[in-house]
Structure 1
Amino acid sequence: MRKRTRRAAAVATTAAALLGLAAPGAVADEGRLPDPAPGGPHRPYEPDVTGPRNIDTLSAAITPDGGTAHGVRVAFDRTSRAEPAGPPAAARRFVFLFDASLRLRPDSFPTCARTTIEQHGVHACPQGSRIGRGTSHLYPEGTAEVYAFNARHPGGTRGALVVIPAGGTILELTWERVTPHYQRAGYRWALDEILPPTATPPDQRVGTRRFELTWGATRRTGEGRPVSFAETTARPGAALGIGLWSEFVTGQTVLPETTAVRP
């Protein structure tokens, strides 16, 4: 079991090195990294601004979800700081990258509409539609709760809504199959999150110092059968690759990567 775990980690490290990506636990930010999900919605154009260089790190965890035998929850924990000091630059996009052994089942869960949240709040979403939860750590201090809901966007696209009620923030994400470049690094599916422009000038926006978000949920069908939002084909003890591609208002792109062991 231990040999298999070490081998999986070694393979992930080798693949990352060959593709010019970060080794597990490290971050790559040399130039503009390839976009993992260029086929998704495009963010309105904004020119790059002068700002700090962000230093991002990522940790992750895989835990059983208590639903199906293969059901898991996938926790992302990103930290960000500016170099040499001060608030980190604000983000334009985040792309959550999931190991190829993970199967996501949004079609098996109810959805919540953006208009429902805007008009009535997160508690009005249908039961079973919440597929994630976390915490946003503000700069320089303070925290805010984060909720993620299964969604079907106008036009039928599958995705999610990430909501931060304290700030009135609703972000739209879409499920995207990653490009071959990232498939060769061991990923398959990505959630592409766009942070739309605001009235605040880009160089005056402040990024978060830490962001935690765990994806996963369980529900029961009308027949009482358990259903897991995320399942994995990986064996216990296997190391799964997790990444978070990020683009900031300065034009900088980073890709912290890590591995999480399936219990």
Structure 2
Amino acid sequence: MTGYGWRGAVAAAGVTGVLLLSGTGPAGAVGAAGGPPPDPAPGGPQRPYEPDVEGPRNVDSLTAEVTAYGGEYGGGYGGGSRGVGVTFDRTSRAEPAGPPAAARRFVFLFDKALTFRPESFPTCARGTIEEGGTGACPAGSLVGRGTSHAYPEGTAEVRAYNTRHANGMRGALVVVPANGTILELTWERVTPTYQRLGYAWALDEILPATAVPPAERVGTSRFELTWGAKWGDRSFAHLNREGAGAGAGGPLRLALWSHFVTGQTELPVARTERP
């Protein structure tokens, strides 16, 4: 992650093995006295400092879905699990009008009933994509797909590849082949505050600064991204057996912490039924 500092020491050890989302506690509000939601994953790579700019207030919403790939709960972690796909569908609009402010970071937060097995899938390096495109990535390294919606119109395919960064941390590369965008994500532990809400692990995505001034960057009006894939008899994302989740078999909780160039932070939360 050349050019990035560190928000804390926890990331230095990296993430290895199965990522078990194992926080505890009921759902609740985040942020003191209605204040902005705190950073759920302060231990990872840090985006270079950039001062806040004036801009619109973004109003974000999130829907989510967890879809089974077929098959019943079998031998796995937490008393058995099944392969699933985990979909985030985020929309954003500006108040009072116009394009949404651009983002600096997105942090995908997963219900503790979900586990991920990046160590069981091939990885693709950023340099491989830069030199040969996504077609040069090994079979089985594609672990997510989706669509990005530009403001005011236009869509582009999004692909997510399992990776291991140069510093040893496991993560993903989100790629928009149409324009060559490559975004780096890392697996990180969430803070105790978010563990008490039922999360334990997150994927932290940094959107690097560009030559375009922050106030002139345009945010996306919507993106849909599904994490999950099958490779042979292996599944990238798993749902633990009923009773292992935050709600003891109840709905699953997903969230997306977002930080914008204006300094605004948002935390839309979605609940979805177990498949």
Equivalence map 1:27-42=2 (5 Å): 31-42=35-46
Q: Distance in 2 between matches of 1:158 and 1:112?
A: 11
Contact 1:234 1:262 in 2 (8 A): no
The count of aligned residue pairs is 239
How much identity, in percent, do the aligned residues show?
68
Residue 52 of structure 1: which of 37, 53, 56 is its match?
56
Say whether the 8 Å CA contact 1:146–1:162 is kept in structure 2.
Answer: yes
Go from structure 1 to structure 2 and tell me whether the alpha carbon gap of 1:181 and 1:248 turns closer, same or farther (over 3 Å shift). Answer: same
The whole-number CA distance in structure 1 between the counterparts of 2:86 and 2:250 is 14
TM-score, normalised via structure 2 length: 0.83
2:242 maps to what in 1? 235
Match of 1:210 in 2: 222
Offset, 1:68: 7.1
Give the conservation status (yes or no) of the 8 Å contact 1:67–1:227. no
CA distance in 1, matches of 2:266, 2:241: 27
1:92-241 alignment runs, 5 A limit: 92-220=104-232, 226-235=233-242, 238-241=250-253
Distance 1:197 1:95 in 2: 17
Question: Where does residue 7 of structure 2 map in the other structure?
Answer: none
Q: Which amino acid aligns with 2:239?
A: T
Q: In the alignment, what sits opposite 1:91?
A: 103
5+ long unaligned stretches in structure 1: 1-10, 22-27, 221-225
User: 1:66 offset after TM fit, Å?
Assistant: 3.5
CA RMSD of aligned residues (A): 1.9
Q: Which structure shows the bigger proportion of residues in helix conformation?
A: 1
Letter aligned with residue 227 of structure 1: R
String of CA shifts for 1:236-260, please: whole Å, max 9, x gaps: 9731110000000000000000111
Point out the more displaced range, 78-87 or 32-41: 32-41
> Does the 8 Å contact 2:31/2:38 carry over to 1?
no
Runs (5+) with no aligned partner, structure 2: 1-23, 74-81, 244-248
- Counterparts of 1:122 and 1:262 in 2: how far apart (Å)? 32
Shift of 1:193: 0.2
CA distance in 1, matches of 2:71, 2:186: 25
